[in-house]
Structure 1
């Protein structure tokens, strides 16, 4: 409780590739010692990320960055992405520097309303 949540505003780009994309949650965690608040190199990487997001999104066929949120005191970032596959997201995280600061977990996600509809159809 009381965790500071900071939303990083990003200009979202729609790419022109196949419509067959999936929703992914990208969970990036780092320790206090490598936090951009406490580490000069991490701070530099973090600041540079802002200029790399758009081009990497295009390069690695990320259809949309839905949201990029961070819990500063928990040292956790949550990025919601619409992409073709997890390998593109992995390359994106390496290119922009997320994986240089944090351990990254890429998880396929489902929308609650779609899941509810699917479960009801199984009855």
Structure 2
């Protein structure tokens, strides 16, 4: 599950599953402040955590030289935290840098298989 979060000059908004925007009543000025506002964000918190994790992982991939579409980074709830699957990287040097960077975070993560598993044909 992922929730779109929008910050405008009027405040914070979240997109529902139907595409409608709903105002979030909070005084937060930053994403961290929004996530810390438990009473306001509680219904949206799991989706916000997944979205924030995807953004941080994408920023790390980019900083380490990996060109990746953020939609290919899969984030799922896992044992009270987040499990992340990132696309396989062909360049070994970039892969080592990404591994070192992501290992510093408190999350479970893995590389996606480099190619889909093939079924055996009878």
Ranked by relative contact order (alpha carbons within 8 Å, sequence separation 6 or more), the top structure is 1
TM-score by length of 1: 0.36
Greater per-residue strand proportion: 1
